[in-house]
């Protein structure tokens, strides 16, 4: 039986309040009746509600706002064209697409407690792809900030992607027309991040995972 869902108020996100501080904070979660769920549990929920698991805790989210959807579509379209022209091994996907992030090599369904649906992910290792999606860290993840996912994307997911070995993490702020790009360092931690803001004229952002691809913020944040 699918557990009962309870709603919680989501954190506010307002234009101009660009929060680039990455820190561990408590995230309001939807409670499902037990403390920790696995991917095996996740597979039993057959309704059409969108959920993610982070350390076994369930987080539900709603459909994106228009600006969110535009930024996602713009990035995806340009990156897909780049990948398709070069016919390499990299593949690009957009949500809904399950990315399972095992811990300590535990790949059994009932041992996986992290299942996320990034707005966009690029996987360049074909062995990580199967019929269910991706198992293991993508090379690039893009999360577009929205009111329902703000704190989760810049705290919980930041820590999860860093720990899992995602090499490049983009946090996109449509209301502020800005992006912050984090690159994984050799010691396994993200750098401090580089922020590009359209209002400051920094409108060209290179994609390190796909050498030669440059995102134009004017296109990404077109009204």
User: Which of the listed ranges 1-10, 13-22, 144-153 does the model predict with the highest average pLDDT?
Assistant: 144-153
Better-predicted residue by pLDDT, 39 or 202:
39
Q: Quick one: pLDDT at residue 18?
A: 46
Cis peptide before 96 (omega within 30 of 0): yes
Q: Copy the structure tokens of residue 96.
A: 């809904």
The Cα 183–Cα 193 span in angstroms is 7
Evaluate whether residue 14 is within a structural domain: no
> Is 6's pLDDT higher than 60?
no
71 membership: H or E segment, kind and range:
helix 66-86
Local confidence band at 66 (pLDDT 50, 70, 90 cut-offs): confident
Evaluate whether residue 71 is within a structural domain: yes
Evaluate whether residue 102 is within a structural domain: no
Evaluate whether residue 184 is within a structural domain: yes
Assess contact for 209 and 122: CB atoms under 8 A: yes
- CATH number for the domain spanning 124: value is 3.90.1570.10
Evaluate whether residue 123 is within a structural domain: yes
DSSP state of 156: I
Range of the domain at 88: 66-97+117-220
**How would you label 69-105 residue by residue, b for 16+ Cβ within 10 Å and e otherwise?**
ebbbebbbebbbebbeeeeeebbbbbbebbbbbbeee
Evaluate whether residue 51 is within a structural domain: no
> Is 20's pLDDT higher than 60?
no
Q: What is the mean pLDDT of residues 142-149?
A: 80
What's the number of domains the chain is made of?
A: 1
Evaluate whether residue 60 is within a structural domain: no
Q: Where are the alpha helices (DSSP H) in 110-206?
A: 150-151, 157-164
> Is 16's pLDDT higher than 70?
no
Assess contact for 39 and 112: CB atoms under 8 A: yes
Assess contact for 207 and 140: CB atoms under 8 A: yes
Residue 8: Cβ within 10 Å count:
10
> Is 100's pLDDT higher than 70?
yes
> Is 13's pLDDT higher than 90?
no
Q: What is the mean pLDDT of residues 141-150?
A: 81
Local confidence band at 46 (pLDDT 50, 70, 90 cut-offs): confident
**pTM score over 0.85:** no
Overall size of the chain counted in residues: 223
Better-predicted residue by pLDDT, 50 or 92:
92
Q: What is the mean pLDDT of residues 96-116?
A: 96
Q: Copy the structure tokens of residue 34.
A: 């037990």
Q: What distance separates the 2 farthest-apart alpha carbons in the chain?
A: 53
159-191 tens-digit pLDDT:
999 999 999 999 999 999 999 999 999 999 999
Q: State the average pLDDT for the chain.
A: 84
DSSP 84-124: HHHT-S-EEEESS--EE--STT--SGGG---EE--SEEEE-
Evaluate whether residue 195 is within a structural domain: yes
- Is residue 162 classed as helix, strand or coil in its secondary structure? helix
């Amino acid at each position: 039986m699918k557990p009962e869902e309870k709603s919680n108020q989501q954190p506010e996100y307002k234009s101009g309040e660009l929060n680039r501080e990455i820190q561990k904070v408590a995230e309001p979660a939807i409670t499902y009746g037990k403390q920790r769920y696995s991917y095996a549990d996740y597979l039993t929920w057959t309704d059409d509600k969108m959920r993610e698991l982070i350390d076994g805790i369930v987080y539900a989210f709603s459909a994106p706002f228009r600006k969110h959807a535009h930024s996602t579509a713009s990035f995806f379209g340009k990156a897909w064209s780049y990948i398709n022209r070069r016919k390499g091994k990299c593949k690009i996907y957009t949500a809904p697409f399950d990315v399972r992030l095992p811990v300590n090599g535990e790949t059994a369904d009932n041992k996986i407690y992290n299942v996320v649906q990034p707005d966009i992910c690029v996987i360049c290792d074909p062995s990580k792809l199967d019929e269910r999606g991706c198992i293991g860290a993508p090379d690039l993840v893009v999360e577009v900030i929205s009111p329902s996912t703000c704190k989760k994307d810049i705290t919980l997911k930041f820590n999860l992607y860093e720990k899992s070995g995602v090499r490049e993490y983009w946090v996109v702020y449509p209301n502020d027309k800005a992006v912050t790009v984090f690159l994984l360092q050799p010691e396994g931690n993200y750098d401090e991040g580089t922020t590009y803001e359209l209002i400051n004229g920094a409108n060209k952002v290179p994609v390190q995972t796909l050498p030669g691809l440059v995102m134009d913020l004017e296109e990404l944040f077109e009204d």
